[in-house]
Every structure is written in structure tokens, then in C-alpha cells.
């Protein structure tokens, strides 16, 4: 389903680029002032601009469909709750001098543990 919508989306994009390039420039560009255009009748301009508007609407719809398809199977996650592969916070009984922290093991507890530093003896570092 997703691949089909992507292919349709790309075909709409290419068609819209082509129709925009076929339209007559109405000033300011390199071809400003040239009277002879490839398709210079006003009726053709209406068809081209109407087709471009329809293609823009289809582009908008396929973009929405693609964004909904991308979010279908995404599971919400939280940075506050621990993940399965995150290191577990040490238990309060292993650090005799450290204050007791709640046993949630979330991000806040991990940051507090890093701020406190290691609980055991440390090797002196040279300056």
C-alpha cells in the first residue's frame, strides 16, 4: 500500500513540475517581454492553471496519506521511563553513603546517579 502511494505521489510530482514549466511566465523572469510563447492563448492558460491546481490538491492528499501510513505502526515512547537496554540504576543498599533514590530506574534517576558519582573507593588521578 505504502509503495503504491509513493509511486502515485512521485507521478503527481513529475506531472506538476511539467505543468508548471509549461505555463506562460507573467513577468520578471528571463523571458519577460517575449510575445511569442509556446502556448500563448488564454484558454490554454486556464487549462494549465486548473490542472496544476488539481495536481497540487492531489499532492496534498497523497502527502497526508503518506504521513498517516508512516505513523500507523509507530509505538509511542517516553524518555522518562527506562528502556529495555538501558543500564539499571544500582540499588540504594549498594551505596552506603548515597541517599536513597526511588527504584523507578528512569532517566531522572540515572542522571542523579551520574551526578553523585561512583559510590565505591576511587583511584587518585594525577594532575
Distance between CA atoms of residues 127 and 124, nearest Å: 9
> Of the spans 30-34, 77-81, 102-106, which averages the highest pLDDT?
77-81
Please state the rounded mean pLDDT for residues 77-94. 61
Q: Where are the domains of the chain?
A: 2-26+40-71
Does pLDDT of 54 surpass 60?
yes
**Confidence (pTM):** 0.49
Task: Find out whether 24 and 49 touch, Cβ atoms under 8 Å.
Answer: no
Asked whether residue 75 carries a pLDDT value surpassing 90, the answer given is: no
User: What are the tens digits of pLDDT across the range 92-107?
Assistant: 555 555 555 455 567 7
**Quick check: 55 pLDDT over 80?**
yes
Please report the pLDDT score of residue 6 as a whole number. 95
Which residues are within 8 A (CB) of 51 and not within 5 positions of it... i.e. 6 or more apart? 19
Amino acid at each position: 500500500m505504502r509503495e503504491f502511494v509513493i509511486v502515485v505521489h512521485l507521478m503527481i510530482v513529475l506531472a506538476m513540475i511539467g505543468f508548471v514549466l509549461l505555463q506562460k511566465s507573467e513577468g520578471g523572469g528571463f523571458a519577460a517581454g517575449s510575445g511569442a510563447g509556446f502556448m500563448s492563448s488564454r484558454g490554454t492558460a486556464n487549462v494549465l492553471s486548473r490542472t496544476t491546481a488539481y495536481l497540487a490538491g492531489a499532492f496534498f492528499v497523497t502527502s497526508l496519506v503518506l504521513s498517516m501510513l508512516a505513523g500507523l505502526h509507530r509505538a509511542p515512547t517516553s524518555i522518562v521511563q527506562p528502556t529495555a537496554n538501558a543500564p539499571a540504576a544500582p540499588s540504594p543498599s549498594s551505596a552506603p553513603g548515597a541517599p536513597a533514590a526511588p527504584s523507578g530506574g528512569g532517566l531522572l534517576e540515572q542522571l542523579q546517579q551520574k551526578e553523585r558519582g561512583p559510590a565505591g573507593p576511587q583511584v587518585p588521578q594525577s594532575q
